[in-house]
Amino acid sequence: MHSVSNKVVLQKDSTLHAGLSTQPSTHSVLKTSILFTLVTTILLGIGYPLVVTGVAAVMFSHKAGGSLILKDGQVIGSELLAQSFTSDRYFHPRPSAAGNGYDATASGGSNFAQSNAKLVQRIQGDIDKLAADNPGKPVPIDMVTTSASGLDPDITPDNAYYQAARVAKARGLTNDQISALIAQHIAGRDLGFLGEPRVNVLALNLDLDKMGK
């Protein structure tokens, strides 16, 4: 009788000790999880963004501010966003499917497949029109295709040189003068191997106006 009661008491004691031993462990894990969440939120959600923003503002103020372009003290655009130019006196950017064209609030492409009839007709129409300006010369692909954003501010050097004759004629300048200006605006690959050579259309057109014709 005593042995049975002793076993019952031992079992109760072991159960009690087991329950007591798990409570501190559970409490410790919960506390650690909460502290970890708070610390990482403060460090990575608040501290890190503030540090990066501060460093960028000091070391790369122009880029951190949106790469804005000023004329006579007024913001007229950004190096990062294409604008519509339709006059023969200016270089034209790539076609755009962003909104009604070059709409920064509706960035995006047409999402047409290569087999889409509307896309094929639009591209072929653009090629025919451009080929009439430079008979016998192949039309650069970026002159008739949109970028994924519809806001690509750059064109290829081939694109710029293809438009040179039209711009020169409209402004009463020589092809050599326009070609020299284009050459000054060709940006090479980033770090020497990233991306492709490019020409910023807005910057090129602004310098074109400075030529006085």
If we measure between CA atoms, which residue out of 198, 210, 201, 213 comes closest to residue 77? 201
pTM over 0.85: no
Listed residues 21, 36, 65: the one ending a domain:
65
Is 114 found in the same domain as 78? yes
If we measure between CA atoms, which residue out of 199, 155, 196 comes closest to residue 181? 199
Amino acid at 92: H
Is 140 found in the same domain as 88? yes
Is 75 found in the same domain as 47? no
Give the range of the structural domain holding residue 200, as residue numbers without chain letter: 66-210
Q: How many domains does the chain have?
A: 2
Q: Where are the alpha helices (DSSP H) in 41-90?
A: 48-59, 61-64
pLDDT tens-digit readout, 107-164? 998 889 989 999 999 999 999 999 988 888 999 999 999 999 999 999 999 999 999 9
Is 78 found in the same domain as 24? no
